[in-house]
Amino acid sequence: MNYRSLLHYLEKNGVEFKENYSTSELVTFRIGGDAKIVIFPKNRRQLIDILRILKNDKFVVIGNGSNCYFTDGFYDGAIIATSKLNSISRENNLVVAECGAPITKVSKFAFDEELCGLEFSYGIPGTVGGAVAMNASAFGSDISTVLKESLAYDICSDKLVVLSNAEHIFSVKSSVFRKSRLILILSKFELQKGSKSEIYDKMNDNISRRREAQPLNLPSAGSAFIKPEQGYASQMIDSLNLKGYTVGGAQVSTKHAGFIVNIGGATAADVNDLIEIVKRKVNEQYKINLEEEIIYIE
């Protein structure tokens, strides 16, 4: 890693960073070992400068870490956390939000502006960057249905690019950001004028459904598996009586079989072992290869 240049830049520009930092502090799963450095750029200029410095080195950009977890060993790279790039504004029927803005705050902003369309995302614990990269979905909608365009930095060409909805190449729990060297800077969501009380009711209903169905009292990274075409992963796992199945501190949630939760002291290895066991058992019974939604970074 071009570590000296990086530190020089960070110190000179007053960028917040932490060395040898525990990744468990950065992810909702609360697991993982230390990382060489975590950097918190406070504006786009800094984000792009840091990406330029790191372009040939090992690094990852994260939002709220609610869909990923790191190795138990040392992550010998840089983690760029976008939490400080979090502005939200309005342009006519568009809501414009930077990559680090929590998607729930964007949804709440739309509500305040009497704009509907983002209610489904209320309660998803991620940022705009993570939600767009993962095409976050809930209650029959997903990000692709409301996204107009994004501004991204292309590490390969060293250029800012505007991506139309089609250029995001959205699919189930994926987008172009998962398979390229594009880093999302901001997105514009195209919403409709709505009734405040109807938007409120939908958001409220969504939060209640989340509280009822999801194990929100324990650390997790959300649904562990992508929904296969043939049905629901959680139903298949439940049918095999795997709720409560535990490896070390990692457990198939007793509340929602699609979630793997950290019941205390879980390691990334525990989670990975549990995932393999669940996948094997589902495959033996249903001849389906479950695919992980949660992202393991090593």
Ligand X SMILES: Cc1cc2nc3c(=O)[nH]c(=O)nc-3n(C[C@H](O)[C@H](O)[C@H](O)COP(=O)(O)OP(=O)(O)OC[C@H]3O[C@@H](n4cnc5c(N)ncnc54)[C@H](O)[C@@H]3O)c2cc1C
Token representation of residue 53: 């410095």
Write b or e for each residue in 195-208: b if 16 or more Cβ atoms lie within 10 A of its Cβ, otherwise e. Answer: eeeebeebbeebee
Write the binding mask 216 to 235 for ligand X: x where contact by CB under 6 A, - elsewhere.
x---xxx-------------
Closest CB 136 distance from ligand X, rounded Å: 3
Instruction: Output the smallest distance, CB 85 to ligand X, in A.
Output: 8
83 counts as binding ligand X under rule CB under 6 A: no
Q: Which of 96, 99, 191, 250 binds ligand X (CB under 6 A)?
A: 99
Rounded to a whole number of angstroms, the minimum distance from the CB of residue 221 to ligand X is 5
The least distance separating ligand X from the CB of residue 234, rounded to whole angstroms, comes to 12
Query: Is residue 214 part of the contact set for ligand X (CB under 6 A)?
Result: yes
Phi-psi region of 207 (alpha: psi -120 to 50; beta: other; left: phi over 0): alpha
Q: Which is nearer to ligand X, 29 or 111 (CB)?
A: 29
Q: What is the DSSP letter of 94?
A: E
Looking only at residues 128 through 187 of this chain, which bind ligand X when binding is defined by CB under 6 A?
A: 129-131, 133-134, 136-138, 177, 183-184
The beta-strand segments (E) located in 120-253 are 137-138, 141-142, 147-154, 159-164, 182-190, 192-193, 220-223, 246-247, 250-252
Instruction: Candidates 105-113, 123-131, 236-244, 275-283: pick the segment binding ligand X (CB under 6 A).
Output: 123-131
- Whether 84 contacts 13, CB under 8 Å: no
Question: Does residue 31 touch ligand X according to CB under 6 A?
Answer: no
**H/E segment holding residue 285:** helix 268-286
Q: Is residue 24 part of the contact set for ligand X (CB under 6 A)?
A: no
Our CB check for ligand X shows the closer of 114 and 254 to be: 254
Number of residues that bind ligand X (CB under 6 A): 33
For residue 4, the minimal CB distance to ligand X (Å) is 25
The answer to the question of residue 124 lying near ligand X (CB under 6 A) is yes
| Cβ 274 vs Cβ 48: under 8 Å | no
Q: How far is the CB of 283 from ligand X (least distance, A)?
A: 24
Structure token digits, residue 247 = 């490896």
| Cα 29–Cα 204–Cα 67 angle in degrees, nearest 5 | 20
Residue in 15, 134, 124, 135 with CA at minimum distance from that of residue 80: 15
> Binding residues for ligand X, per CB under 6 A?
28, 60-68, 82, 99, 124-127, 129-131, 133-134, 136-138, 177, 183-184, 214, 216, 220-222, 295
